[in-house]
Amino acid sequence: MSQAAPDLSAVSMDLGEDYPEIRASVRRICADFPGSYWRDLDEKEAYPSDFVQAMTDAGFLSALIPEEYGGAGLPLRAAGVVLEEIHACGGNAGATHAQMYTMGTVLRHGSAAQKSLYLPQIASGALRLQAFGVTEPTSGTDTTKLKTRALREGDEYVINGQKIWTSRALYSDLMLLLARTTPLEDVKKKSEGLSVFLVDMRKAVGNGMTIRPIKAMINHNTTEVFFDNLRIPADSLIGQEGQGLRCIMDGMNAERILVAHESIGDAKWFIKTAVKYANERVIFDRPIGKNQGIQFPIAKAYAQTQAAELMLRKSAAVYEANQPCGEYANLTKLLTAEAAWEAGEACMQTHGGFAYAREYDIERKWREARVQRTAPISTNLILSYIAEHVLGLPRSY
């Protein structure tokens, strides 16, 4: 027997706003972009231009831009709800989310001139800020060892080096770039000497910047970016020279919380899809959902998803309150990615062989959900953060 939903307003624990109107509005847009749309893009490795346009027109991609710059000025949780609903509807927010998580860096550390130049154009959709260049082929997760150099020469910085996995670079006008401005051997702390730049890619491509697509397991429009004496104006620097890692960390915590919403959306989609099929598919003269071997993994994934969602709401509230949120952002990223993975596995197993048929979208969603255990930060690095910075265990590397 199903129970009536509890009235959470009667409970003293504040779960924060859930934005039902935003959810309904995103669902209406997503109805025009069904599974066949995403499958077709996946096969062609194409960019979801029509979907991005629809989300821009509805104002969702400027959710985090303050109203004075033409955005909606919504809290992080509201932006996360947008991403969650896209994933819960069977779509993918990968083409759109960077515009949201880069805001943590631009809003908190960008100058007034940078904000008034770029934010209104990003809010209107005239410019896309969708590329975030941090990862490099030789340094990977060890960010402070990155080799891309930015050298000040008069009114310019000259950039040389290479980034990898820079997603959406071919479809973005602006890139947030992390580069070293002071050599590692000349800084007191290895986290110093890195700087963040807002690069106008419209001017850079062909003038020192080359972008090459990477063929990947999921359709994420990801690329390698090469810098060969790229000259950018000195006022492209965001925040203070040498303090770039700190600036970008604000964006990274926001990124973890935002993409965690995507995992919750994936988990909800997997659970809903698995339950429907388990009720409908009749084998041995009864629905397969009657078997506890089918029920229990779905029920367990549901429990994990509910728990992960609570942590997600806590981390969004802590971020919004401008409090240190490294612990919560990391816990959230870990728990939501694992919940989505368990739900994906339950959905795959419930569908038997049909899980492999592309028309069901399960194998696509499963491939897409997997990336959250690796990017933007991998599970191991989250665990070592919690061990060292939260529990006080010795640094392991």
Residues in contact with ligand FAD by CB under 6 A are 132-135, 140-141, 165-167, 216, 218, 220, 222, 371, 374-378, 380-381, 384, 396-397
CB of 13 to ligand FAD, least distance (A): 34
Rounded-to-integer distance, Cα 394 and Cα 397, Å: 9
Rounded-to-integer distance, Cα 272 and Cα 261, Å: 16
CB of 166 to ligand FAD, least distance (A): 5
Question: Judged by CB, which is closer to ligand FAD: 158, or 387?
Answer: 387
Is the CB of residue 196 less than 8 Å from the CB of residue 176? yes
Question: Judged by CB, which is closer to ligand FAD: 19, or 132?
Answer: 132
Strand residue runs (E) in the chain: 129-133, 149-153, 156-167, 174-180, 194-200, 209-213, 222-233, 237-238, 282-283, 286-287
Question: Judged by CB, which is closer to ligand FAD: 75, or 140?
Answer: 140
CB of 232 to ligand FAD, least distance (A): 18
**Packing angle of the helix pair 362-370, 35-44 (nearest 10 deg):** 60
CB of 285 to ligand FAD, least distance (A): 44
CB of 120 to ligand FAD, least distance (A): 24
Rounded-to-integer distance, Cα 329 and Cα 255, Å: 9
Q: Which residues pair with 158 in a beta bridge?
A: 151, 231
CB of 225 to ligand FAD, least distance (A): 10
| Residue of 116, 20, 16, 123 lying closest to 75 (CA atoms) | 16
Q: Which residue is nearest to ligand FAD (CB)?
A: 140
Q: Is the dihedral of CA 317, 240, 155, 152 positive or negative?
A: negative
CB of 299 to ligand FAD, least distance (A): 30
Question: Judged by CB, which is closer to ligand FAD: 79, or 294?
Answer: 79
Is the CB of residue 126 less than 8 Å from the CB of residue 100? no
Question: Judged by CB, which is closer to ligand FAD: 101, or 118?
Answer: 101
Question: Judged by CB, which is closer to ligand FAD: 107, or 334?
Answer: 334
Residue-wise burial string across 103-133, b where 16 or more C-beta atoms lie within 10 A, e elsewhere: bbbbbebbeeebbeebbbbbbebebbbbbbb
| Residue in the block written with tokens 């893009």 | 41
Q: Helix or strand or coil: residue 146?
A: coil
Rounded-to-integer distance, Cα 281 and Cα 275, Å: 10
CB of 317 to ligand FAD, least distance (A): 26
**Packing angle of the helix pair 76-88, 244-280 (nearest 10 deg):** 40
Question: Judged by CB, which is closer to ligand FAD: 229, or 374?
Answer: 374
CB of 170 to ligand FAD, least distance (A): 12
Question: Judged by CB, which is closer to ligand FAD: 256, or 268?
Answer: 256
